[in-house]
Structure 1
Protein backbone atom coordinates (compact mmCIF):
# COMPACT_ATOMS: atom_id res chain seq x y z
CA UNK A 1 0.00 0.00 0.00
CA UNK A 2 1.42 3.32 -1.05
CA UNK A 3 1.64 6.25 1.31
CA UNK A 4 1.47 9.50 -0.67
CA UNK A 5 0.54 13.04 0.22
CA UNK A 6 0.57 14.92 -3.08
CA UNK A 7 3.03 16.17 -5.63
CA UNK A 8 6.46 17.56 -4.80
CA UNK A 9 7.27 18.11 -1.12
CA UNK A 10 4.33 20.32 -0.18
CA UNK A 11 0.80 19.27 0.74
CA UNK A 12 -2.43 20.72 -0.52
CA UNK A 13 -4.99 21.77 2.09
CA UNK A 14 -7.08 18.66 1.47
CA UNK A 15 -4.02 16.39 1.68
CA UNK A 16 -2.97 17.99 4.96
CA UNK A 17 -6.49 17.59 6.36
CA UNK A 18 -6.67 13.92 5.40
CA UNK A 19 -3.21 13.22 6.78
CA UNK A 20 -4.15 14.92 10.05
CA UNK A 21 -7.29 12.78 10.31
CA UNK A 22 -5.30 9.64 9.61
CA UNK A 23 -2.63 10.39 12.19
CA UNK A 24 -5.24 11.30 14.80
CA UNK A 25 -7.12 8.06 14.12
CA UNK A 26 -3.88 6.11 14.46
CA UNK A 27 -3.16 7.66 17.87
CA UNK A 28 -6.73 7.28 19.12
CA UNK A 29 -6.91 3.68 17.99
CA UNK A 30 -3.65 2.82 19.74
CA UNK A 31 -4.89 4.47 22.96
CA UNK A 32 -8.21 2.60 22.87
CA UNK A 33 -6.42 -0.66 22.17
CA UNK A 34 -3.87 -0.23 24.95
CA UNK A 35 -5.95 1.45 27.66
CA UNK A 36 -9.67 0.80 27.09
CA UNK A 37 -10.31 0.89 30.84
CA UNK A 38 -9.31 4.54 31.06
CA UNK A 39 -11.82 5.49 28.37
CA UNK A 40 -14.49 3.39 30.05
CA UNK A 41 -13.98 5.15 33.38
CA UNK A 42 -13.85 8.57 31.74
CA UNK A 43 -17.18 8.21 29.91
CA UNK A 44 -19.06 5.99 32.33
CA UNK A 45 -18.77 2.90 30.12
CA UNK A 46 -17.52 0.41 32.69
CA UNK A 47 -17.89 -3.14 31.46
CA UNK A 48 -17.50 -2.20 27.79
CA UNK A 49 -13.71 -2.40 27.66
CA UNK A 50 -13.75 -5.19 25.06
CA UNK A 51 -15.99 -3.10 22.80
CA UNK A 52 -13.68 -0.10 23.17
CA UNK A 53 -10.69 -2.28 22.34
CA UNK A 54 -12.46 -3.43 19.18
CA UNK A 55 -13.11 0.21 18.33
CA UNK A 56 -9.38 0.78 18.70
CA UNK A 57 -8.63 -1.90 16.13
CA UNK A 58 -11.20 -0.33 13.82
CA UNK A 59 -9.59 3.10 14.24
CA UNK A 60 -6.15 1.78 13.34
CA UNK A 61 -7.52 0.04 10.27
CA UNK A 62 -9.30 3.20 9.12
CA UNK A 63 -6.16 5.24 9.80
CA UNK A 64 -4.11 3.02 7.50
CA UNK A 65 -6.74 3.39 4.80
CA UNK A 66 -6.92 7.15 5.31
CA UNK A 67 -3.15 7.49 4.87
CA UNK A 68 -3.16 5.36 1.71
CA UNK A 69 -3.26 6.46 -1.92
CA UNK A 70 -7.08 6.43 -2.09
CA UNK A 71 -8.46 7.57 1.29
CA UNK A 72 -12.11 8.08 0.29
CA UNK A 73 -13.46 4.62 1.30
CA UNK A 74 -11.64 4.78 4.63
CA UNK A 75 -12.96 8.28 5.31
CA UNK A 76 -16.55 7.18 4.75
CA UNK A 77 -15.89 4.16 6.97
CA UNK A 78 -14.55 6.51 9.61
CA UNK A 79 -17.68 8.65 9.40
CA UNK A 80 -19.82 5.55 10.01
CA UNK A 81 -17.54 4.52 12.86
CA UNK A 82 -17.92 7.96 14.42
CA UNK A 83 -21.68 7.44 14.50
CA UNK A 84 -21.09 4.14 16.31
CA UNK A 85 -18.79 5.92 18.76
CA UNK A 86 -21.45 8.57 19.33
CA UNK A 87 -24.11 5.95 20.12
CA UNK A 88 -21.76 4.11 22.48
CA UNK A 89 -20.54 7.19 24.35
CA UNK A 90 -24.16 8.38 24.66
CA UNK A 91 -24.74 5.45 27.03
CA UNK A 92 -22.50 7.23 29.51
CA UNK A 93 -24.90 10.18 29.69
CA UNK A 94 -27.10 8.00 31.94
CA UNK A 95 -24.33 7.52 34.49
CA UNK A 96 -25.01 8.42 38.13
CA UNK A 97 -21.69 10.27 38.25
CA UNK A 98 -22.09 13.91 37.22
CA UNK A 99 -18.51 14.18 35.93
CA UNK A 100 -18.87 11.08 33.78
CA UNK A 101 -22.16 12.37 32.39
CA UNK A 102 -20.45 15.63 31.48
CA UNK A 103 -17.55 13.76 29.84
CA UNK A 104 -20.03 11.62 27.93
CA UNK A 105 -21.83 14.67 26.56
CA UNK A 106 -18.49 16.14 25.50
CA UNK A 107 -17.67 12.83 23.84
CA UNK A 108 -20.99 12.84 21.99
CA UNK A 109 -20.27 16.32 20.66
CA UNK A 110 -16.74 15.36 19.66
CA UNK A 111 -17.95 12.21 17.85
CA UNK A 112 -20.54 14.25 15.96
CA UNK A 113 -17.89 16.78 14.98
CA UNK A 114 -15.48 14.08 13.78
CA UNK A 115 -18.26 12.42 11.78
CA UNK A 116 -18.94 15.71 10.00
CA UNK A 117 -15.22 16.32 9.42
CA UNK A 118 -14.66 12.84 8.00
CA UNK A 119 -17.65 13.20 5.69
CA UNK A 120 -16.41 16.61 4.55
CA UNK A 121 -12.91 15.25 3.84
CA UNK A 122 -14.34 12.26 1.96
CA UNK A 123 -16.50 14.56 -0.18
CA UNK A 124 -13.54 16.86 -0.82
CA UNK A 125 -11.28 14.03 -1.93
CA UNK A 126 -14.01 12.43 -4.04
CA UNK A 127 -14.53 15.69 -5.94
CA UNK A 128 -10.81 15.77 -6.66
CA UNK A 129 -10.93 12.27 -8.07
CA UNK A 130 -10.15 10.28 -4.95
CA UNK A 131 -6.52 9.30 -5.39
CA UNK A 132 -3.73 11.72 -4.57
CA UNK A 133 -1.34 12.56 -7.41
CA UNK A 134 1.88 10.61 -7.42
CA UNK A 135 4.85 12.39 -5.84
CA UNK A 136 7.39 13.96 -8.16
CA UNK A 137 10.24 11.68 -9.20
CA UNK A 138 13.70 13.20 -8.63
CA UNK A 139 15.64 9.95 -9.06
CA UNK A 140 17.17 11.15 -12.32
CA UNK A 141 18.64 14.33 -10.80
CA UNK A 142 22.27 14.61 -9.74
CA UNK A 143 22.20 18.07 -8.18
CA UNK A 144 24.28 19.49 -11.05
CA UNK A 145 22.05 21.46 -13.49
CA UNK A 146 24.22 20.72 -16.55
CA UNK A 147 25.32 17.25 -15.54
CA UNK A 148 28.53 15.86 -14.06
CA UNK A 149 30.60 16.01 -17.24
CA UNK A 150 29.69 19.65 -17.95
CA UNK A 151 30.65 20.61 -14.41
CA UNK A 152 33.96 18.81 -14.70
CA UNK A 153 34.66 20.68 -17.91
CA UNK A 154 33.86 24.00 -16.24
CA UNK A 155 36.41 23.47 -13.47
CA UNK A 156 38.96 22.03 -15.91
CA UNK A 157 38.65 25.17 -18.03
CA UNK A 158 39.19 27.38 -14.99
CA UNK A 159 42.27 25.42 -14.01
CA UNK A 160 43.73 25.62 -17.53
CA UNK A 161 43.29 29.40 -17.64
CA UNK A 162 45.86 29.75 -14.91
CA UNK A 163 45.75 31.01 -11.32
CA UNK A 164 45.47 34.70 -12.24
CA UNK A 165 42.42 34.24 -14.47
CA UNK A 166 40.93 31.75 -12.04
CA UNK A 167 41.35 34.28 -9.24
CA UNK A 168 39.62 36.97 -11.28
CA UNK A 169 36.78 34.60 -12.19
CA UNK A 170 36.44 33.60 -8.56
CA UNK A 171 36.03 37.26 -7.57
CA UNK A 172 33.26 37.60 -10.17
CA UNK A 173 31.58 34.48 -8.87
CA UNK A 174 31.72 35.76 -5.29
CA UNK A 175 30.37 39.16 -6.32
CA UNK A 176 27.52 37.48 -8.18
CA UNK A 177 26.67 35.35 -5.14
CA UNK A 178 26.67 38.34 -2.79
CA UNK A 179 29.99 37.71 -1.06
CA UNK A 180 30.73 40.41 1.51
CA UNK A 181 34.31 40.78 0.27
CA UNK A 182 34.48 39.87 -3.43
CA UNK A 183 37.80 41.73 -3.83
CA UNK A 184 39.90 39.21 -1.91
CA UNK A 185 42.19 37.21 -4.20
CA UNK A 186 42.67 33.98 -2.22
CA UNK A 187 40.98 31.10 -4.03
CA UNK A 188 41.28 27.35 -4.10
CA UNK A 189 43.55 27.80 -7.10
CA UNK A 190 45.98 29.90 -5.01
CA UNK A 191 46.97 33.54 -5.09
CA UNK A 192 47.60 35.34 -8.34
CA UNK A 193 51.22 34.82 -9.52
CA UNK A 194 53.76 37.62 -9.29
CA UNK A 195 54.68 38.95 -12.77
CA UNK A 196 58.16 38.08 -14.00
CA UNK A 197 60.87 40.59 -13.15
CA UNK A 198 59.08 41.93 -10.11
CA UNK A 199 60.96 41.33 -6.89
CA UNK A 200 59.28 40.81 -3.55
CA UNK A 201 60.87 42.13 -0.36
Structure 2
Protein backbone atom coordinates (compact mmCIF):
# COMPACT_ATOMS: atom_id res chain seq x y z
CA UNK A 1 0.00 0.00 0.00
CA UNK A 2 1.24 3.48 -0.80
CA UNK A 3 2.20 5.82 1.99
CA UNK A 4 -0.58 8.22 1.01
CA UNK A 5 -3.69 6.92 2.74
CA UNK A 6 -7.25 8.07 2.18
CA UNK A 7 -9.06 9.60 5.15
CA UNK A 8 -12.33 7.72 5.14
CA UNK A 9 -14.34 5.56 7.52
CA UNK A 10 -17.34 3.34 7.10
CA UNK A 11 -19.66 4.04 10.02
CA UNK A 12 -22.60 1.80 10.85
CA UNK A 13 -23.75 3.52 14.03
CA UNK A 14 -23.52 7.31 14.17
CA UNK A 15 -21.00 9.66 12.54
CA UNK A 16 -18.32 10.71 14.97
CA UNK A 17 -15.71 13.41 14.50
CA UNK A 18 -12.45 11.93 13.30
CA UNK A 19 -9.22 13.90 13.28
CA UNK A 20 -7.96 14.84 9.82
CA UNK A 21 -4.52 13.71 10.98
CA UNK A 22 -5.75 10.15 11.50
CA UNK A 23 -5.01 8.26 8.27
CA UNK A 24 -7.36 5.43 7.46
CA UNK A 25 -8.82 3.75 4.43
CA UNK A 26 -12.30 2.68 3.52
CA UNK A 27 -12.51 -1.10 3.38
CA UNK A 28 -16.10 -2.26 3.26
CA UNK A 29 -15.06 -5.89 2.77
CA UNK A 30 -13.16 -6.07 6.06
CA UNK A 31 -16.10 -4.53 7.90
CA UNK A 32 -18.50 -6.98 6.25
CA UNK A 33 -16.22 -9.86 7.29
CA UNK A 34 -16.15 -8.59 10.87
CA UNK A 35 -19.91 -8.14 11.02
CA UNK A 36 -20.41 -11.69 9.72
CA UNK A 37 -17.94 -13.04 12.31
CA UNK A 38 -19.86 -11.22 15.04
CA UNK A 39 -23.16 -12.69 13.87
CA UNK A 40 -22.01 -16.25 13.17
CA UNK A 41 -19.40 -16.81 15.87
CA UNK A 42 -19.68 -14.30 18.71
CA UNK A 43 -23.48 -14.18 18.75
CA UNK A 44 -24.16 -17.49 17.04
CA UNK A 45 -22.08 -19.47 19.55
CA UNK A 46 -23.03 -17.08 22.38
CA UNK A 47 -19.36 -16.44 23.11
CA UNK A 48 -20.35 -13.06 24.51
CA UNK A 49 -23.91 -12.82 25.87
CA UNK A 50 -23.66 -9.02 25.83
CA UNK A 51 -22.96 -8.71 22.10
CA UNK A 52 -26.42 -9.50 20.78
CA UNK A 53 -28.05 -6.45 22.36
CA UNK A 54 -25.59 -3.82 21.06
CA UNK A 55 -25.65 -5.47 17.64
CA UNK A 56 -29.45 -5.46 17.47
CA UNK A 57 -29.56 -1.82 18.57
CA UNK A 58 -26.90 -0.79 16.01
CA UNK A 59 -24.71 0.56 18.82
CA UNK A 60 -21.48 -0.79 17.32
CA UNK A 61 -19.19 1.39 15.22
CA UNK A 62 -16.98 -0.47 12.74
CA UNK A 63 -13.83 1.30 11.57
CA UNK A 64 -11.50 -0.23 8.98
CA UNK A 65 -7.96 1.15 8.88
CA UNK A 66 -5.60 0.21 6.03
CA UNK A 67 -2.54 2.13 7.19
CA UNK A 68 0.66 0.11 7.32
CA UNK A 69 2.10 2.29 10.09
CA UNK A 70 1.50 1.31 13.70
CA UNK A 71 1.92 4.89 14.87
CA UNK A 72 -0.96 5.95 12.65
CA UNK A 73 -3.09 3.14 14.06
CA UNK A 74 -2.39 4.40 17.58
CA UNK A 75 -3.50 7.88 16.53
CA UNK A 76 -6.73 6.49 15.13
CA UNK A 77 -7.31 4.41 18.26
CA UNK A 78 -7.01 7.49 20.47
CA UNK A 79 -9.23 9.52 18.14
CA UNK A 80 -11.90 6.83 18.17
CA UNK A 81 -11.67 6.54 21.97
CA UNK A 82 -12.31 10.26 22.30
CA UNK A 83 -15.28 10.02 19.98
CA UNK A 84 -16.71 7.08 21.89
CA UNK A 85 -16.49 8.82 25.26
CA UNK A 86 -18.07 11.96 23.83
CA UNK A 87 -21.04 10.10 22.36
CA UNK A 88 -24.25 9.10 24.15
CA UNK A 89 -23.90 5.38 25.01
CA UNK A 90 -27.52 4.84 24.03
CA UNK A 91 -26.50 5.68 20.47
CA UNK A 92 -22.98 4.25 20.43
CA UNK A 93 -21.73 1.74 22.97
CA UNK A 94 -18.61 0.16 21.51
CA UNK A 95 -16.11 0.36 18.64
CA UNK A 96 -14.35 -2.32 16.59
CA UNK A 97 -11.20 -0.94 14.95
CA UNK A 98 -10.06 -3.29 12.19
CA UNK A 99 -6.43 -3.16 11.04
CA UNK A 100 -6.10 -4.39 7.46
CA UNK A 101 -2.70 -2.92 6.60
CA UNK A 102 -0.49 -3.99 9.51
CA UNK A 103 -0.14 -6.36 12.48
CA UNK A 104 -0.88 -9.50 10.46
CA UNK A 105 1.73 -11.31 12.58
CA UNK A 106 0.25 -12.20 15.96
CA UNK A 107 3.48 -11.60 17.88
CA UNK A 108 3.67 -8.09 16.44
CA UNK A 109 0.00 -7.59 17.31
CA UNK A 110 0.56 -8.82 20.86
CA UNK A 111 3.46 -6.39 21.30
CA UNK A 112 1.34 -3.57 19.89
CA UNK A 113 -1.37 -4.13 22.50
CA UNK A 114 0.93 -2.91 25.27
CA UNK A 115 1.58 0.30 23.34
CA UNK A 116 -2.14 0.72 22.70
CA UNK A 117 -3.02 0.33 26.37
CA UNK A 118 -0.33 2.82 27.39
CA UNK A 119 -1.62 5.29 24.80
CA UNK A 120 -5.15 5.06 26.17
CA UNK A 121 -3.90 5.46 29.74
CA UNK A 122 -1.90 8.56 28.86
CA UNK A 123 -4.96 9.98 27.12
CA UNK A 124 -6.93 9.67 30.36
CA UNK A 125 -9.12 6.66 29.59
CA UNK A 126 -8.02 4.49 32.51
CA UNK A 127 -11.17 3.38 34.32
CA UNK A 128 -13.31 4.74 31.48
CA UNK A 129 -12.57 2.38 28.59
CA UNK A 130 -11.27 -1.15 28.26
CA UNK A 131 -9.38 -2.57 25.30
CA UNK A 132 -10.06 -6.09 24.09
CA UNK A 133 -8.33 -7.74 21.14
CA UNK A 134 -8.93 -10.29 18.40
CA UNK A 135 -6.66 -11.69 15.68
CA UNK A 136 -6.83 -14.42 13.00
CA UNK A 137 -3.94 -16.25 14.73
CA UNK A 138 -4.79 -15.39 18.33
CA UNK A 139 -3.02 -17.67 20.79
CA UNK A 140 -3.50 -17.52 24.55
CA UNK A 141 -0.42 -17.81 26.76
CA UNK A 142 0.27 -21.44 27.60
CA UNK A 143 -1.61 -22.83 24.59
CA UNK A 144 -0.49 -24.15 21.23
CA UNK A 145 -1.69 -22.48 18.00
CA UNK A 146 -3.70 -25.58 17.11
CA UNK A 147 -5.66 -25.42 20.39
CA UNK A 148 -9.26 -24.82 19.30
CA UNK A 149 -10.03 -22.74 22.40
CA UNK A 150 -7.94 -19.94 20.89
CA UNK A 151 -10.81 -19.43 18.45
CA UNK A 152 -12.75 -17.51 21.11
CA UNK A 153 -10.48 -14.57 20.26
CA UNK A 154 -9.92 -15.26 16.58
CA UNK A 155 -11.44 -12.78 14.14
CA UNK A 156 -11.07 -12.32 10.37
CA UNK A 157 -8.71 -9.35 10.83
CA UNK A 158 -6.52 -7.90 13.60
CA UNK A 159 -9.10 -6.03 15.65
CA UNK A 160 -9.03 -3.64 18.61
CA UNK A 161 -12.24 -3.48 20.62
CA UNK A 162 -13.00 -0.37 22.66
CA UNK A 163 -15.55 -0.96 25.42
CA UNK A 164 -17.05 1.36 28.00
CA UNK A 165 -16.27 0.34 31.59
CA UNK A 166 -19.75 1.48 32.68
CA UNK A 167 -21.40 -0.76 30.09
CA UNK A 168 -19.32 -3.72 31.22
CA UNK A 169 -20.32 -3.09 34.83
CA UNK A 170 -24.01 -3.03 33.89
CA UNK A 171 -23.63 -6.18 31.82
CA UNK A 172 -22.00 -8.03 34.70
CA UNK A 173 -24.82 -6.95 37.02
CA UNK A 174 -27.36 -8.30 34.53
CA UNK A 175 -25.41 -11.54 34.12
CA UNK A 176 -24.39 -12.58 37.64
CA UNK A 177 -22.55 -15.69 36.44
CA UNK A 178 -20.22 -13.67 34.20
CA UNK A 179 -17.12 -15.52 35.42
CA UNK A 180 -18.56 -18.72 33.96
CA UNK A 181 -18.56 -17.29 30.43
CA UNK A 182 -14.90 -18.14 29.86
CA UNK A 183 -15.32 -21.77 30.93
CA UNK A 184 -18.48 -22.17 28.88
CA UNK A 185 -16.73 -20.77 25.82
CA UNK A 186 -13.90 -23.25 26.21
CA UNK A 187 -16.43 -26.07 26.42
CA UNK A 188 -18.28 -24.81 23.35
CA UNK A 189 -15.13 -24.66 21.22
CA UNK A 190 -13.94 -28.06 22.39
CA UNK A 191 -17.34 -29.51 21.55
CA UNK A 192 -17.50 -28.19 17.98
CA UNK A 193 -13.76 -28.59 17.31
CA UNK A 194 -11.91 -27.06 14.38
CA UNK A 195 -14.31 -28.72 11.96
CA UNK A 196 -17.23 -26.89 13.52
CA UNK A 197 -15.33 -23.62 13.66
CA UNK A 198 -14.27 -23.93 10.01
CA UNK A 199 -17.87 -24.64 9.04
CA UNK A 200 -18.83 -21.19 10.36
CA UNK A 201 -16.61 -19.67 7.63
CA UNK A 202 -15.61 -16.52 9.48
CA UNK A 203 -12.12 -15.96 8.07
CA UNK A 204 -11.10 -13.02 5.87
CA UNK A 205 -13.16 -12.96 2.70
CA UNK A 206 -16.14 -14.69 4.32
CA UNK A 207 -18.60 -11.93 3.42
CA UNK A 208 -17.58 -12.12 -0.26
CA UNK A 209 -17.99 -15.89 -0.22
CA UNK A 210 -21.39 -15.58 1.45
CA UNK A 211 -22.51 -13.06 -1.16
CA UNK A 212 -21.41 -15.45 -3.91
CA UNK A 213 -23.38 -18.30 -2.38
CA UNK A 214 -26.48 -16.14 -2.27
CA UNK A 215 -26.14 -14.99 -5.87
Whether these two folds match at TM > 0.5 is no
Larger radius of gyration: 1
TM-score (norm 1): 0.25
Flag the structure with more relative contact order, 1 or 2, with Cα contacts below 8 A and sequence separation at least 6: 2
Bigger fraction of residues in strand? 2
TM-score (norm 2): 0.24
